């Protein structure tokens, strides 16, 4: 078993574009759930809307990169509005069921064979990332062992994470953010102060959703392909695991949570595969090792919620629930 390789793969996960995408999407969930108390179980849907909004506008309408980006962001904002209108007045568990249903509706629609010419159905779409890599300012060569494309997407992804974290941090310490936290603590108290709770919730839903859409784009760009199977309900649950790992009502929590999530997944995979190859573990094959990791994710989510709901960084007083 090559420990050096296992650890360097795990360290590579720290700054992989996928981790950046998870961090962004989990940050969106922090705005929804951590700061506003909105139980959004449809973040995978927002990511799908962002990824497909960008891919379809690039491939079908041939728009330049930034127009595609804008379209993706607008689509996710509209999706948030559509979701928010029927559900934001309802109790938390209704919101959860409706958002998870809406995310699945998005996935079914992009999977259907009826729209193959636009969405590519189960195959998804590919070759839409040209406009992005054409902007790559780094000349060809080796950057810390990576080629210029891999380096560029990491710089952009993590740059976006830093910008969004800063924005969320600024927003949450503004008067607007304090009202939001007030809504989380006691909706009626805020309402009695003359605040329009519904509008605040809607704004939070849109902001978190836009973060999800950006995450969806960062998720697809390095792959050069977007496939509906990636946007199932499990994705949302993994994001919740990241969020709870780091801490609900924090800005850095989701980022650190995403890093821990991917590093642990990579470490367990490396170690399990190593043990299987060296013959130390015989009761397990590599397929089962892959499943064992997701069993661990489920168990971790349960244990976190039961024993340390505030996560690594969180403050127990800042929880979205009693």
Partner 1 sequence: MGAVFAAVVAILLVVAPASQATTPSPTPSPSNQQFQNSISGFLRDDARAPIADVTITAKSGDFTGTAKSGANGSWTIGVPVQGTYEVELDESTLPEGIKLADGQENPRKVTFSQTSNLSVIFAFGKGIVVQQQDFGQNLLNRLVAGLSFGLLLALASVGLSLIFGTTGLTNFAHGEMVTFGAVLVFAFNAMSLPFWLAVVLALLGGGLFGYVQDAGLWKPLRRRGTGLVPMMIVSIGLALAVRYVIQFYFGGSTQQLPYAQSSEIQIGPVSISPNNLWSLVISAVVIALIGFILLKTRLGKATRAVADNPALAAASGIDVDNVIRIVWVAGGMLASLGGILWAYYRPGVTFDMGSQILLLIFAGVTLGGLGTVFGALIGSIIVGIFVELTTVFGLAADLKYVGALFIMIVVLLFRPQGILGRRERVG
Q: Which of residues 230-259 bind partner 1 (CB under 8 A)?
A: 232-234, 237, 240-241, 244
92 is an interface residue for partner 1 by CB under 8 A: yes
Site for partner 1 in 26-45 (CB under 8 A): 39
Are the beta carbons of 40 and 98 closer than 8 angstroms?
no
44/73 with CB nearer partner 1: 44
Smaller CB distance to partner 1: residue 133 or 143? 143
Site residues for partner 1, window 108-137 (CB under 8 A)?
Answer: 108-109, 111-114, 116, 121-123
- The reply to whether 305 sits near partner 1 by the rule CB under 8 A is yes
Non-local (6+) Cβ contacts of 265 within 8 A are: 13, 293, 297
Q: Which of residues 171-230 bind partner 1 (CB under 8 A)?
A: 227, 229
Please, what is the minimum distance in Å from the beta carbon of residue 63 to partner 1? 26
Is residue 52 within 8 Å of residue 253, measured between CB atoms? no
- Distance, in Å, from the CA atom of 246 to the CA atom of 134, rounded to the nearest integer, reads 35
**Phi, psi (rounded to 5 degrees) for 90:** -90, 170
Nearer to partner 1, 146 or 167 (CB): 146
3: contact with partner 1 by CB under 8 A: no
97 makes contact with partner 1 (CB under 8 A): yes
Stretch 135-154 residues interacting with partner 1 (CB under 8 A): 143-147, 150-151, 154
In whole angstroms, the minimum distance from the beta carbon of 34 to partner 1 comes to: 12
Q: Does 299 bind partner 1 (CB under 8 A)?
A: yes
Query: What's the Cα-to-Cα distance from 301 to each of 94, 237, 296, 304, 305, rounded to whole Å?
Result: 22, 9, 8, 5, 6
The answer to whether 209 and 80 are in contact (CB under 8 A) is yes
User: Is 312 within 8 Å of 253 (Cβ atoms)?
Assistant: yes
Closest CA relative to residue 73, chosen from 216, 188, 249, 174: 216
Instruction: Please give the residues from 53 up to 72 whose contact with partner 1 meets the rule CB under 8 A.
Output: none
Question: Whose Cβ is closer to partner 1: residue 2's or residue 135's?
Answer: 2
Nearest distance in Å: CB 78, partner 1: 15
CB of 158 to partner 1, least distance (A): 6
Question: What minimum distance in Å lies between the beta carbon of 42 and partner 1?
Answer: 11
Helical H segments across the chain, by residue range: 3-14, 17-29, 43-59, 65-87, 92-111, 116-119, 130-134, 148-172, 175-185, 187-192, 197-220, 233-246, 252-277, 286-307
> Does 158 engage in binding with partner 1 (CB under 8 A)?
yes
290 lies in the binding site for partner 1 (CB under 8 A):
yes
- Residue 264 as a binder of partner 1 (CB under 8 A): the answer is no
Q: Smallest Cα–Cα separation from 76: which of 35, 101, 44? A: 44
d(CA 37, CA 187): 10
Per-residue tokens: 4? 């050096």
């Amino acid at each position: 078993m090559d420990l050096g390789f296992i650890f360097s793969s795990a360290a590579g996960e720290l700054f992989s574009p996928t981790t950046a995408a998870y961090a962004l999407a989990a940050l969106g969930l922090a705005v929804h759930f951590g700061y506003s108390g909105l139980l959004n179980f449809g973040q995978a849907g927002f990511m799908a809307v962002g990824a497909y909004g960008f891919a379809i506008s690039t491939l079908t309408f041939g728009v330049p990169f930034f127009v595609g980006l804008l379209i993706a962001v607008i689509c996710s904002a509209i999706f948030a509005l559509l979701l928010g209108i029927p559900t934001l007045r309802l109790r938390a568990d209704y919101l959860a069921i409706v958002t998870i249903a809406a995310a699945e509706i998005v996935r079914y629609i992009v999977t259907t064979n009826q729209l193959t010419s636009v969405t590519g159905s189960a195959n998804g779409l590919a070759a839409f990332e040209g406009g992005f890599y054409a902007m790559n300012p780094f000349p060809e060569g080796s950057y810390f062992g990576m080629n210029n494309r891999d380096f560029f997407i990491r710089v952009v992804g993590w740059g976006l994470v830093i910008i969004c974290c800063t924005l969320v941090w600024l927003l949450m310490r503004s008067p607007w953010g304090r009202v939001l936290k007030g809504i989380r603590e006691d909706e009626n108290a805020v309402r009695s102060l003359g605040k329009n709770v519904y509008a605040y919730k809607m704004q939070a839903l849109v902001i978190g959703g836009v973060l999800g859409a950006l995450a969806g784009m960062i998720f697809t760009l390095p792959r050069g392909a977007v496939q509906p199977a990636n946007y199932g309900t499990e994705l949302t649950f993994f994001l919740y695991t990241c969020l709870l790992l780091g801490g609900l009502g924090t800005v850095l929590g989701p980022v650190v949570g995403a890093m821990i999530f991917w590093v642990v997944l990579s470490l367990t995979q490396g170690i399990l595969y190593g043990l299987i190859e060296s013959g130390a573990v015989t009761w397990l094959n590599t397929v089962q090792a892959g499943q064992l990791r997701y069993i661990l994710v489920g168990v971790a989510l349960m244990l976190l919620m039961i024993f340390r709901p505030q996560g690594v960084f969180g403050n127990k007083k800042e929880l979205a629930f009693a």
